[in-house]
Amino acid sequence: MNKNAIGVFDSGLGGLTAMKELCKIMPHEDIVYFGDTSRVPYGTRSADTIIRYARQDLNFLSTFEIKAALVACGTISAVALDTIKSDYSFPIVGVIESAAKAALKISKNRRIGILGTQATVNSGAYERKLTEADPNCKTMSIPCPLFVPLVENGHTDPNDPLTNGAIELYLSKLLPFKADTIILGCTHYPIIAQAIRRFVGSETNLINPGKEAALTISSLLHENGMSNNAGVGKHSYYVSDSTDNFETYGSVFMGRSINGEVHKIDIEKY
């Protein structure tokens, strides 16, 4: 692993949606991924706990002397990022600001729905970013606490009855708002985007915050002359619990086998 890598982290598997986009956009970069699978989900935790977890995650990634970090977690981006980012010498990019910009760029009726964890919704972070940029923007936020455990336990098929039941439970509240754009405000949620789109209709825009954050970090590194432009990037994966499920489902999300590439670490040491 090149000690000039990009670090990516999330509470579990969901951040692989950002990792996959980053691999497409920056194929020459070494990337190290950490999924805090022993403590997933973050979205039900207190703000103090989320901040502590975020510091431990970044402290671990710092052991690789990374040049930048992508916080592939809506909860941390909403609750902890402003508090902790000045503690580190490398740039840290979250998922909220870039997703908000993308939503405003594409929305026609200025009605934007936000799906997120309870902590993300409670923080009001997306609403602030959206209304600061456009005071005429109307928002509606829906907490979706079942989505992360469903994804983490492999309920990702668009025909899965449990997943579709949860989508109906949550998004039926959003339909009367008539949003033309919905931010999938947790990086786990794009994994079930096909089922979400089927429920809300093909005319509704879905914003993938992991993809938008990957584009942001790519631009940041390029503008500052920090991009690698040659060679094939190496990728490493670390988790804080069993590697088995992560390898199985992670291979599906990444579109290639990552079996044997995932390592378990004790995050409490950091």
Active site residues: 73, 186
Handedness of CA 222, 224, 230, 231 (dihedral sign): negative
User: Is 210 within 8 Å of 168 (Cβ atoms)?
Assistant: no
Provide DSSP, 196-238: HHHHH-TTSEEE-HHHHHHHHHHHHHHHTT----SS---EEEE
The count of C-alpha atoms lying within 13 angstroms of the C-alpha of 255, restricted to the half-sphere facing its C-beta, is 7
User: Is 220 within 8 Å of 91 (Cβ atoms)?
Assistant: yes
Q: Could you tell me how many residues make up the chain?
A: 270
Cα–Cα separations (whole angstroms), residue 260 to 30, 46, 233:
17, 34, 17
User: Is 104 within 8 Å of 222 (Cβ atoms)?
Assistant: no
Token couple for 29:
């970069």
